[in-house]
Amino acid sequence: MSSSALLLPGQPLPAELVTPPLPQCGSGCYELNGRMLASVIGRPRRDGAVVSVIGREESGNTPDVGSIVIGTVSRLTPQQAHVTLTTSNDRPLPETSEEFVGVVRVGDVRLTERDKVKMGECFRLGDLVKAKVLSLGDARSYYLSTAANELGVVYAKSEAGNPLLPLSYQEMEDEITGRVERRKVAKPEGI
């Protein structure tokens, strides 16, 4: 059993983690009759002289309905923007083999004039987007919304590759060339 294997309560910790010098039990495990056993569902870890089992709650957070998430636009269609999520409620998401992906549908981009939304004018590939989780969606993605003043693109680069600065809720300006590009801009913090 490798040290990254998922343990159930009562299962012994892997031998490579409890080799001499014998470690102390940390959180998520206990000693019984000279054996170290998991007390929670999680992954075992040794940090110096302490072994522990890190459960889902301790390993990081996962987005839930109402969470504010930040991610990068990874795919764009006329009907939706796919966002690879990196943080939820200002905490990094756990690193897993599967990415956390959210979808902003055309009707969830803004509160007004929803019928006039053009995804290509709101987001571009690589834009950093702040959004709210509407629902857990399907098995592949969360449904997200940017329909609030403080939600939308928080960082973007121009077609020339220069950083863009917010001008209004619908425009950003290339700080080098002065060229204006359309985006669904998040209201900058503190304004």
* Domain presence at residue 137: yes
Mean pLDDT, residues 1-30: 78
Mean pLDDT, residues 6-26: 83
Determine the 3-state secondary structure of 135 from DSSP.
strand
Domain count, the chain: 2
> CB-based contacts of 139: which residues, under 8 Å, 6+ apart?
none
Give the pTM: 0.66
In one letter, which amino acid is 14? P
Based on the fold, state whether residues 162 and 134 are members of the same structural domain.
yes
> What's the pLDDT tens digit per position in 146-180?
999 999 999 999 988 999 999 888 899 998 999 99
Among 59, 92, 111, the domain-final residue is 59
Based on the fold, state whether residues 49 and 76 are members of the same structural domain.
no
**Mean pLDDT value across the chain:** 84
Dist CA 13 CA 87 (whole Å): 30
Based on the fold, state whether residues 31 and 94 are members of the same structural domain.
no
* Domain presence at residue 101: yes
On the question of pLDDT at 125 being above 80, the answer is yes
Encoding tokens for residue 131? 């959004």
Mean pLDDT, residues 6-12: 83
Residues in the chain: 191
Based on the fold, state whether residues 128 and 38 are members of the same structural domain.
no
Based on the fold, state whether residues 108 and 144 are members of the same structural domain.
yes
User: Considering the chain, what percentage of its residues have pLDDT values greater than 70?
Assistant: 90
> What pLDDT does 1 receive?
42
Based on the fold, state whether residues 47 and 128 are members of the same structural domain.
no
> What pLDDT does 15 receive?
84
Among 33, 59, 85, the domain-final residue is 59
CATH number at residue 25: 2.40.50
Encoding tokens for residue 130? 């702040």
> What's the pLDDT tens digit per position in 37-94?
888 877 888 888 888 887 755 545 678 888 899 999 999 999 999 999 988 887 777 7
Q: Which residue has the higher pLDDT, 110 or 124?
A: 124
> CB-based contacts of 115: which residues, under 8 Å, 6+ apart?
none
* Domain presence at residue 117: yes
Dist CA 88 CA 132 (whole Å): 9
Domain residue limits at 53: 15-59
* Domain presence at residue 42: yes
